[in-house]
Chain A
Amino acid sequence: MAKREFSIPVIKSPPEIPPIRPGAMAHSRPFVAKAEHQEPLGFPGELVDNWKSVAIDKMEELLGKYRALPVFLDSCVKCGACTDKCHYYLGTGDPKNMPVARQDILRSVYRRYFTVAGKYFPKLVGAAELTEEVIDDWYRYYHQCSECRRCSVYCPFGIDTAEITMAGREILASIGVGQKYANEIIGKVHKIGNNLGLPEPALVDTLEGLEEEVEEEINVPVKFPLDQVGAEVLLVTPSADFFAEPHVDGLIGYAKVFHQAGISWTLSSYASEAANFGIFVGNYENMQKVAERIRQAALDLGVKRIVVGECGHAWRVAYSFWNTLIGPFDFLDTAYPTPQHICELTYHLLQQGQLKLDPAQNDDKVVTFHDSCNVSRGSRMGDMPGGQFTIPRALIRSACPHFVDMAPETTHEHTFCCGGGGGLLTDDLLELRVKGALPRVSALKRVIEEDGVTHMAAICAICKSQFSKVLPEYGMGMDMVVSVHQLIGDALVFEPAQ
């Protein structure tokens, strides 16, 4: 790993809004995708010669395809309400990490090429020519946004900087300047079926290992079926669940729930990934293609339901976009919502009295819950708005005797991104990730000190990986982070099925 050249931010109590520090993160840029990462996604392998006109044409195309873009680019009044809402601004003080300033680097070009005011009075309205420096700025600062939508909550017009970032990244990729991390991953999904590039034999191995491990530990023959034709449920989960810590304990939790509820289920080796980095690079075609594998797997396996494991942006894509991308789901059992979140499934079973939990198993823990940004602000669970907040909490409460919420300005729709979302969970952006975690870590520190919190539960693979990596930087234990379904699995009472 590269030499560390940054200092860990100091946690202030109460949290402070930093003064602006222009250029503080101007050095932060992720590795650029090579031709082999670009081309399989339909992007040019390197910077095209006529990049300027390609970029402007692409911008025009996107302006015509997504209503959000012209509306958002025209409507901002520079009121400043969003300026202190982004975790990357709060952690770095770089003014270009203020959502409105992030938009402005695209808006100034939009003004210059697509508006009357910008064409004739560029100075007056801050319109700018598209130059190499502008492209550089886009590359830097569109990779310092985790597309978490926090800014959109507070904007009087609902301007969602994530939409602007996605457009910026799509333009960049289409002139040949893609981001290596995200594009390489999308390529792996297209080719192999998951972000890790884990081939089927490795998956079989891993799952067999898990079966043995669980049976040894609790003496219950919990299965981890793969490619089982005719199963009731297809479970699609982030591939990190297969091997990363603490994710895998979540997977074990899902398996225990299915086992105890007597629901036949299967994973798919063809669609062994819930994550969909297509959303991160803002490219509809790639997002659709990644999602399509899941529809195909569901058809091939003849399942009746699709359930999605703990993953933030995956759930946004699944809940909000799947029906559009790969629907209609008329080939599935309409008695259940499609897709269904694993938390919804478990919650439903608990309500029906089909699962029994013994919270005493988690008596040693004081648990808090990190609302994942994409789940909170881009999706729902259950049939009431806000179910995405109440259902996971209800699960934790029924599995743990001690639950504490973090400060209300950092939970529910006000939640802070973990700092690693939106395709930024890569070591070449470590400084950004550490600094971007500051607001969440500050809130966590407070409940640790005031309420003796020992664990923070999450329902997102990226959150879990990110926190395991950055909490130690702030002097907290990496094993504080747990999956919600780990807590469920540990508390689950195995009874003979009724």
Chain B
Amino acid sequence: MILGTIYAFLFLVAAFCLVVGVALRVIRYSRTPVPLVIPTTPAPTTTGGVVSRMFREVVLFESLFKGSKWTWLFGWLFHFGLVVALLRHLRYFTEPVWQWVEVIQWVGLYGGGVMLFGLLGLWARRFLVDRVRYISALSDHLMLALLVAIAGSGLAIKYGVHTDIVALKAFTRGLLMFDWQPLPAEPLLLMHLTLVILLMVIFPFSKLLHAPGVFFSPTRTMKDTPREKRHSAPWADEINRSTLR
């Protein structure tokens, strides 16, 4: 029981860090003006076009595909695997388990493996390509190590030491209801959960901010309509007015 309480507490702290940390960055981004029209052209001229461009960036990693086929392959597999694996985890949080979550369970199983494969490919690039080796800081390696460990321990729980799923689900449901429940004292499970907590805490302080960041990138989100529509920001307009004569 004490274990359950400790982890419940840690999860709440981590969730708080994640939500508040990301919210603060997002507020900061959205409040910072964009004084000039700087989409990377050719760029869409309509809002629909921008939505489509962003969809292709976020879902297909279009620019990365133009940039590096290997990184795109591994990176896309990793993120795709991550999304599927995360969705699969919904079964620990929904009661009764949502229909579509049931349906994707089998895909989800592959998700973990695909994610791990992608991560290892990305990590290999950090050693094998001299340019990528040069730009990799310790934190870049540790981030990959963390994700590899999360995916690895998750897969190990699934295929190796089977955990008491019923008890685990009671714990996760309890988290949502603020009703602390005991947690199975399984070393691998505890490791998996500890690493996830760590990831949640690190998120808003690290390059993982690319996830919210991409939605605020002016070169991707702006329309190419500077002649049609005057764009302005308050601080810049003040300067513009100051030179009028």
Contacts and interface: CB of A to CB of B under 8 A. Distances in A.
Interface of A: 17, 19-20, 22, 63-72, 74-85, 95, 98, 100-101, 104, 115-117, 123-126, 149, 152-160, 163, 284-285, 288-289, 292, 296, 319-328, 337-339, 376-380, 385-386, 388-389, 413
A153 B231 contact: no
A124 B68 contact: no
Given A20-B131, A323-B226, A413 B207 contact: no
Interface in B106-156: 125, 129-132, 134-140, 142
Contacts of A285: 239
B100 interface: no
Contacts of A324: 35-37, 226, 230-232, 236, 240
B205 to A, nearest CB: 4
A377 B207 contact: no
Nearest to B63: A156
A78 B67 contact: no
Nearest to A76: B207
Nearest to A328: B230
Interface stretch (B39-47, B158-166, B176-184, B186-194): B39-47
Nearest to B72: A81
B219 interface: yes
A149 B205 CA distance: 27
A324 B29 CA distance: 21
Contacts of B75: 79, 156
Given A20-B134, A74-B209, A159 B217 contact: yes
A interface majority secondary structure: helix
Nearest to B137: A126
Interface string B207-245: 101100110111110001011011110011001100101
A323 B230 contact: yes
B139 A157 contact: no
Contact of B67 (A64, A81, A339): A81
A80 B131 contact: yes
B193 to A, nearest CB: 23
20 contacts: A65-B33, A66-B35, A67-B216, A71-B29, A78-B132, A78-B136, A81-B68, A95-B131, A95-B135, A98-B134, A154-B63, A154-B64, A154-B66, A154-B68, A156-B75, A157-B220, A327-B230, A337-B227, A380-B43, A413-B42
A326 B131 CA distance: 43
Contacts of A69: 32
Give 8 nearest A-B pairs by CB, closest first: A154-B67, A81-B67, A75-B213, A158-B219, A385-B42, A80-B132, A126-B137, A83-B131
B86 to A, nearest CB: 18
Contacts of A100: 135
B170 interface: no
A126 B67 contact: no
Contacts, number: 215
B168 to A, nearest CB: 32
Given A80-B135, A81-B63, 14 more contacts: A66-B32, A67-B34, A75-B217, A76-B210, A80-B125, A98-B134, A115-B205, A124-B142, A154-B66, A154-B67, A321-B36, A323-B231, A380-B224, A386-B42
Contacts of B36: 320-321, 324
A98 B227 CA distance: 33
A327 to B, nearest CB: 5
Nearest to A95: B134
Nearest to A330: B230
A19 B129 CA distance: 9
A100 B134 CA distance: 10
B206 to A, nearest CB: 6
A35 B220 CA distance: 39
B34 A66 contact: yes
B105 interface: no
A385 B230 CA distance: 18
| Max chain A C-beta neighbours (<10 A), residue from B57, B137, B232 | B137
B71 interface: yes
Interface string B40-71: 11111100000000000100010110111001
Nearest to A287: B36
B38 interface: yes
A16 to B, nearest CB: 13
B169 interface: no
Contact of A288 (B32, B43, B129, B239): B239
A235 B242 CA distance: 25
